[in-house]
Amino acid sequence: MRIIVAGGDGFCGWPTALYLSEKGHDVSIIDNGVRRKIDNELHSNSLTPIASLEERVAKWEELTGKHITVYDGDLVHYDFLKEILRKEKPDAFVHFAEQRSAPYSMIDREHAVYTQENNVTGTLNVLFGIKEVVPDCHLIKLGTLGEYGTPNIPIEEGYIEIKHKGRKDTLPFPKQPGSFYHLSKVHDSHNIMFACKIWGIRATDLNQGIVYGLETEETQLDPVLTNRLDYDGVFGTALNRFIIQSTVGYDLTVYGKGGQTRGFLNIKDTVRCIEIAAENPADFGEFRVFNQFTEQFSVADLAEKVQNVAKEEGFETKIANLENPRVELEEHFYQAENTKLKDLGLEPHLLTEDVIRDVLRTVIKHKDRVIEKNILPSVKWK
Ligand code: NAD
């Protein structure tokens, strides 16, 4: 298949581009490099040193003979996007290219506006581009489990059957997002659903859980292919952040009581889920929703797991319950469905001690790169 990976320089997009290329697909990447610019803005960095995108794809071609075309540009620029769609004529458009940090979107008005303009306009442009240039193309869009919030009922995959005043219907599952970033994803989902309905295009919304891990088989082939690893209070996600904290002698910073429960998955499953979605496209006019995660944990569970493995590796670590910078429930019911991807063949890589140990050992190699003042949360919701 001809596949565009938008956001292919990022944490999820880069390993996905390599994985799809390895599987024999004709892959091209669109990325405007904004994630690297945000590192400069925040005086932060990836824990792992990452090569430029040009160096990355050149090394991939040198090692495997497989070519990945790179387009350096912004989805918000419609003429640029249309030109690429005309050139590439993709069968699938994998859309990772958004501002993905909840804290970043909560810094101030400018960052909230940037997040929503970038994400909502970019996705609208992709929808119009598919309609006008490549109407057969299957949109595979990264949403987030965070769109649903934490309702006191089980979370279904996209839709719920409701009986009301003697009548019955299947309706979109209610959305209760917890940040301006998560809201941008909900706005995207609504726009995509509407476009499928009125134009008959086909789309899969992957409501992804929090991704942990670092490398895939492909990124491990050479240090130039290494994936980025975020650990700061703005972009670092729970498990990866705890592992890094444990190696530099920091307390594992659990926000509030730590009962916040979320869905998680290994980066190795992210890349496979995209392949599954691409190989099993939605029907024309269908807005299909999968919950893309494999296990659920509370933040306190994760901190304990990391603490245990770190201890075995010689790092004594304390768990610190910080005042929660976010506004969220700290103890709640959580049960999300995740059968659709498994039914299509996903075989989960579960969170074992070995998986934590692997990331931890990689982190140790680069721990001199940690900028300690970036570890603690600096953005408050209120
Ligand atoms: P990332 O920030 O590492 O990667 C996003 C990439 O998109 C970056 O390389 C950035 O430069 C690029 N980009 C952003 N806006 C762009 C634009 N307008 N035009 C072109 N390129 C643009 O993020 P990630 O962790 O890889 O996440 C990828 C997607 O998966 C996001 O949509 C995110 O919301 C979703 N997601 C991620 C996680 C996670 O745990 N990482 C969890 C759930 C959902």
Q: What are phi and psi of 11, to 5 degrees?
A: -60, -45
- Under 8 Å between Cβ of 12 and 211: yes
pLDDT at 301: 96
Q: Is the CB of 34 under 6 A from ligand 1?
A: yes
Query: What is the identity of the amino acid at 78?
Result: Y
Question: SS3 for the chain, per residue?
Answer: CEEEEECCCCCCHHHHHHHHHHCCCEEEEEECCHHHHHHHHCCCCCCCCCCCHHHHHHHHHHHHCCCCEEEECCCCCHHHHHHHHHHHCCCEEEECCCCCCHHHHCCCHHHHHHHHHHHHHHHHHHHHHHHHCCCCCEEEEEEEHHHCCCCCCCECCCEEEEEECCEEEEEECCCCCCCHHHHHHHHHHHHHHHHHHHHCCEEEEEEECEEECCCCCCHHHCHHHCCCCCCCCCCCCHHHHHHHHHHCCCCEEEECCCCCEEEEEEHHHHHHHHHHHHHCCCCCCCEEEEEECCEEEEHHHHHHHHHHHHHHCCCCCCEEEECCCCCCCCCCCCCECCCHHHHCCCCCCCCCHHHHHHHHHHHHHCHHHCCHHHCCCCCCCC
Q: Is the CB of 30 under 6 A from ligand 1?
A: yes
pLDDT at 252: 95
Q: What is the pLDDT along the chain (382 residues), one digit of tens a residue?
A: 999 999 999 999 999 999 999 999 999 999 999 999 999 999 999 999 999 999 999 999 999 999 999 999 999 999 999 999 999 999 999 999 999 999 999 999 999 999 999 999 999 999 999 999 999 999 999 999 999 999 999 999 999 999 999 999 999 999 999 999 999 999 999 999 999 999 999 999 999 999 999 999 999 999 999 999 999 999 998 898 999 999 999 999 999 999 999 999 999 999 999 999 999 999 999 999 999 999 999 999 999 999 999 999 999 999 999 999 999 999 999 999 999 999 999 999 999 999 999 999 999 999 999 999 999 999 999 9
Nearest Cα residue to 157 out of 295, 339, 279: 339
Nearest Cα residue to 375 out of 256, 252, 264: 252
How far, in Å, CA of 266 to CA of 133, rounded?
Answer: 34
pLDDT at 160: 98
Q: Is the CB of 102 under 6 A from ligand 1?
A: no
CA of 348 to the centre of ligand 1 (A): 22
How far, in Å, CA of 69 to CA of 86, rounded?
Answer: 14
Residue identifier of the C-alpha nearest atom 28 of ligand 1: 96
pTM for the predicted model, two decimal places: 0.98
pLDDT at 238: 86
CA of 10 to the centre of ligand 1 (A): 6
CA of 117 to the centre of ligand 1 (A): 14
Q: Is the CB of 84 under 6 A from ligand 1?
A: no
Nearest Cα residue to 279 out of 372, 346, 222: 346
Q: What are the residues facing 207 on neighbouring strands?
A: 143, 291
| CA 338 centroid distance within chain | 16
How far, in Å, CA of 294 to CA of 257, rounded?
Answer: 24
Q: Which of 36, 93, 100 to mutate to test the pocket of ligand 1 (most atoms within 8 A of CB)?
A: 100
Catalytic residue set: 144, 181, 185
How far, in Å, CA of 187 to CA of 183, rounded?
Answer: 6
For the chain, domain boundaries:
2-374
pLDDT at 353: 97
Q: Is the CB of 92 under 6 A from ligand 1?
A: no
Q: What are the residues facing 28 on neighbouring strands?
A: 4, 69
Nearest Cα residue to 334 out of 151, 188, 189: 151
Size (the chain), residues: 382
CA angle 337, 340, 345 (to 5 degrees): 130
- Residues with Cβ within 8 Å of 297's Cβ and at least 6 positions away in sequence, in order, are 261, 262, 264, 305, 351
Q: Is the CB of 144 under 6 A from ligand 1?
A: yes
Sign of the dihedral through C-alpha 184, 187, 191, 192:
positive
Residue 174 half-sphere exposure toward CB, CA atoms < 13 A = 8
CA of 329 to the centre of ligand 1 (A): 26
Residue identifier of the C-alpha nearest atom 31 of ligand 1: 96
- Under 8 Å between Cβ of 177 and 149: yes
Class in CATH terms, 2-374: alpha beta
